[in-house]
Amino acid sequence: MTRRRWLMVGAAALAVVLLLVIGVLAFRPFGTGTENGPDGTAAPTQPPDSERLFLPGYDGSPGGFTMTDPADAPGKTTSVRLALEGDAQRTDHQLGLSFDARELANPMWDSEDSNLALTLGELEEPALRFGGNGIDRHVWWTSSDEPAPEWATATVTPEDLERVAAVAEEVDASVTIDLDLGHDDPARAADMAAHAKQAFGDRLLAVAIGNEPNGFSHENQPDLAVRDTTWDTEAYQQALTEYSAALESATPGLPVSGPGAYDAEWWRAFAESGIPNQRALSLHWYPLWDCEGPASSIANPTVEDLTDPVLRERARTIVGMGADVAEEHDLPLWMEETGPTSCPGTNDTSRTHAQALWTVDYAMTLAELGVERTAFHSTLQACEGGAPMSPICARGPYEEPGQIVEGRTSYLALMMLGNLPNGRVLTPTVSGDGKVSAHTVLGDGGELTLVLVDMRDPSNELYKDRPVEISAPEGGSSVAPDGWELTHGSRMAGTSLDASESTFDDLVPVSGEFAGARLDRAEPLTVTSEPGSVTMLRFSTASGGDASDGGGDADPAV
């Protein structure tokens, strides 16, 4: 998953040098593409917004990566022990965005007036998923220009799928699409699936029959009901059989994922339905679901609960249950829709630096559990008033959001995770109160990438940089027998957990005293972690290394 941007840094630097040389030699000949500014001096012409990235806080070419000397970091040292297990999960982990299916009809896709494709291209081979509550309640599919019924708020056509497919091709994305189960029309769903397969080709990993069928008739969500009280897992399995037959007739062999639900009973209902071409078990989960919960709840939509280490353990429990069901039925595990909270509207976690920290920690925790594909739920609505939790949003006003998008804090987090290599996820054991977590990937080339997530509030003056002692991975003794050498680093930071922006300095060579620091099997390496930060460290195999595989603090300042 190493992002292409890293490969372009050298070329970009060379281009700058060439431009400077050309500028000196040319003496501004006629037609240079510049205009006179108010003071009469030449000013560069600004490219249109459709050719620009809007990523507040992002620095793609920082001068170098440095860390505090551990001797100057007070407090108790956090120790990180790593193990390469025999059944270690791989990290060909696709990360990306989930959209409501209504966004399939959004004019941004493949538009010359939009920077959506340019922005999505900052992610590494992103996952794109289309579903949400809209597919079963508000989306009308037609391939023959039929008039939409009154219940539809969006009409999707083959031309819309082709526009989305053009963007997917441009950004090298994989795609999944949900089909309308809410209106019980297998033939129409099969027609949409056939056109999706034609548009996306091999990029279409699977279709899903309905979105969150466990919510089709739920006493707590009567406004979302599309079935009566007789709807249960048995009725769902019967519907799967009918839809599967229609899909097989229209597009033989088309892969199907499901159930796209947050309930173990429904996970089993899909896995045990007996329909052919099952591609993956898909989960949905929003850990902060208790919208008006008591103070004792651990699932309130607050920054405090979002950064509580308990949430990480809760993810391991809930998603771990899904992993057990997937393993039992020999299916890959996908998280097709997720985010910090399912609570509607703006809340304390919206648009915060804490959301970026959680995104990294959560995505890495899912990778450790074996999740192969994760999509964070998003919209293309306006940044102000329309998309409080979405990683991206449109820059225009609420009523006319326009076609220019920008990335928020959690989008920077997904960009950062794009620097992870393909490889195997190590099992971490981390001391302390859980506020500092560690996640590590052993790349297929033997390189080691460590991710430290520090959930402490940087605005609290009692919190200081913390020493972190890293021990070489146990197991697979023939991997890098001479150890590793620290070569590159990256950091995401913020002024406070509830800050509206994060800063993200992309992966660059390490400078200062840590340049070339060694991580040996016999001697741990101590680095430092800043409060409210994500630190990514890349280690290459030391000379003689081999990529083969042989097998709560009492005081806040601590």
pLDDT at 22 over 80: no
pLDDT at 4 over 50: no
Mean pLDDT of 27-45: 50
Backbone φ and ψ for 401, nearest 5 degrees, come out as: -65, -25
Q: What is the pLDDT of residue 347?
A: 87
The one-letter amino acid at 18: L
Q: What is the pLDDT of residue 546?
A: 45
- Looking at per-residue pLDDT, the higher value among 522 and 127 belongs to 127
Upper half-sphere CA count for residue 550 (Cβ side, 13 Å): 11
pLDDT at 548 over 50: no
The beta strand positions in 361-412, using DSSP E, are 371-378, 392-394, 405-407
Mean pLDDT of 268-281: 98
Mean pLDDT of 452-476: 94
**pLDDT one-digit tens code per residue, 296-344:** 898 999 999 999 999 999 999 999 999 999 999 999 999 999 999 988 8
Q: What is the pLDDT of residue 390?
A: 96
State the Rg of the chain over Cα.
25
Q: Mind giving me the DSSP string for 265-284? A: HHHHHHHTS--S-EEEEEEE
Nearest to 466 by CA among 82, 78, 81: 78
C-beta of residue 458 within 8 angstroms of C-beta of residue 519: no
Three-class SS of residue 228?
Answer: coil
**pLDDT one-digit tens code per residue, 188-205:** 999 999 999 999 999 999
Q: How confident is the prediction for the chain on average, in pLDDT?
A: 90
Q: How far apart are CA 375 and CA 336, in angstroms?
A: 5
Q: What is the pLDDT of residue 16?
A: 41
Read off the pTM: 0.90
C-beta of residue 408 within 8 angstroms of C-beta of residue 393: yes
Model confidence band, residue 17 (pLDDT cutoffs 50, 70, 90) = very low
Model confidence band, residue 222 (pLDDT cutoffs 50, 70, 90) = confident
Beta strand 256-261 pairing with 278-285: parallel
The one-letter amino acid at 11: A
pLDDT at 3 over 70: no
Residue 155, Cα to own-chain centre: how many angstroms?
Answer: 28
Model confidence band, residue 74 (pLDDT cutoffs 50, 70, 90) = confident
Residue 135 carries which DSSP code? G
pLDDT at 509 over 70: yes
Q: Is residue 524 packed enough to be buried (19+ CB in 10 Å), middle (13-18) or exposed (0-12)? A: middle
Mean pLDDT of 396-402: 95
Q: How far apart are CA 15 and CA 22, in angstroms?
A: 10
**pLDDT one-digit tens code per residue, 404-413:** 999 999 999 9
Q: What is the pLDDT of residue 75?
A: 81
